[in-house]
Structure 1
Amino acid sequence: MYKKILVTSALLATLAPAAAFAQSGGAAAGAATGAVGGAIVGGPVGAAVGGVTGAIVGGIADQQKPEFRQYVTTQSVPSYTYKEEVRVGAVLPESGVVYHEVPAQYNVKGYRYTVVNDTPVLVEPSTRKIVQVIR
């Protein structure tokens, strides 16, 4: 049992850089990373759950980013002025930021978008944490 935990830990540590890449690689990279991590920990069922979770974390796919930026522009969403760096993991303030539904075609159910310092971002609504910066 100890050996299995040790091997699993080593493999997950190896996957950490791939998980970081999932932010820039979009949903496909997130799904792949999640499936591999899930398979290591939970076998076939873990791979299925990890793949779905990874796809959610992956955000908007790279090939859809220009289309999404254009969509946001057509919505005339006002930009919130943020004094900190606009980056993944930054937590937006409780008041003053307006969040909008992401259209279903972008496959990021459960997230909202807003514009911060003229840059569209995806946000996890319950934590107000930026999960993807759309450049």
Structure 2
Amino acid sequence: MKKLIMSAVSLFLALGGAANAQTTTVTVPGEVRTYVLEQKTPSATFEGDLAVGTALPETVEIHTIPDQPDYGYVIVNDKRVLVNPKTRTVVEIIQ
């Protein structure tokens, strides 16, 4: 019985650690945020929940940021959003 409880606790801790390992924090350079905040790009409409990790559809045009190939941006539903241009996923909602 004691062995079963120890196994269950080990499994619980292992699964909890795996869930935590999937949570990542992206540190976006300040100049990227500044650039995006200064842009006067029209807002696109997106149906659904906009959150970090959301993949944007092909219909939403992602704009490039000079000298920053790892980041793109889009203004969606009047919110400025940083996007990974390769995966089209939301990295950060700035405003």
Calculate the TM-score normalised by the size of structure 1: 0.47
What is residue 133 of structure 1 aligned with on the other side? 93
- Deviating beyond 4 angstroms after TM superposition, the runs of 4 or more aligned structure 1 residues are none
The structure carrying a bigger strand percent of its residues is 2
Q: What TM-score, normalized to structure 2?
A: 0.62
Which blocks of at least 5 consecutive residues in structure 1 are unaligned? Answer: 1-5, 23-57
User: Which protein has greater RCO, CA pairs closer than 8 Å, 6+ apart?
Assistant: 2
How do 1:48-67 and structure 2 match up within 5 A?
58-61=26-29, 64=30
Counterpart selection for 1:81 from 34, 38, 45? 45
Q: Greater helix percent: which structure?
A: 1
1:1-135 map, 5 Å:
13=17, 16=20, 20=23, 22=25, 58-61=26-29, 64=30, 68=33, 71-95=35-59, 97-104=60-67, 109-135=69-95
Structure 2 unaligned regions, length at least 5? 1-9
Letter in 1 for 2:61: V
Task: Give the root-mean-square deviation of aligned CA atoms.
Answer: 3.3
Contact persistence 2:37–2:80 (CA under 8 A): no
Change (3 A) 1:15 1:90: closer
